Amino acid sequence: QVQLVESGGGLVQAGGSLKLSCVASGGVFTMYPMAWYRQAPGHEREWVGTITSIGTTAYEDSVKGRFTISRDNAKNTAYLEMSSLKPEDTAVYYCRAFDKEKTWGQGTQVTVSS
């Protein structure tokens, strides 16, 4: 069974950058796409972007050009690099593995101050 652990969240000023990591264990990481989602207070969880097993990426429109998803299959890790952060990017960020169970990580808080 796949388990995911996110890290790298924190408090950053508007215009700043953060890099989130998502380490996978218990599965064959190279076989499945990975995605990042976020959930702001009072809002539903929303999709941020996806990276396929071969590295093809797709992004939600509001983060295009600011966020970059990558993966290091040797480290069983997916990354979300965020730059030009805005207060509206404040949310709990989750990674998700598209394995059989569609596993979620526990989330990491990102707070962007104005």
Q: What is the pLDDT of residue 30?
A: 84
Q: Considering only residues 81 and 100, tell me which one the structure prediction assigns the higher pLDDT.
A: 81
Kindly provide the b/e burial profile for residues 30-64, where b requires at least 16 CB atoms within 10 angstroms of the residue's own CB. Answer: eebbbbbbbeeeeeeeeebbbbeeeeeeebeeebe
- Average predicted confidence (pLDDT) for the chain: 96
Which of the four pLDDT bands, split at 50, 70 and 90, describes residue 1?
Answer: confident
Q: What is the pLDDT of residue 26?
A: 87
Give the model confidence (pLDDT) of 21-75 as tens digits.
999 998 888 889 999 999 999 999 999 999 999 999 999 999 999 999 999 999 9
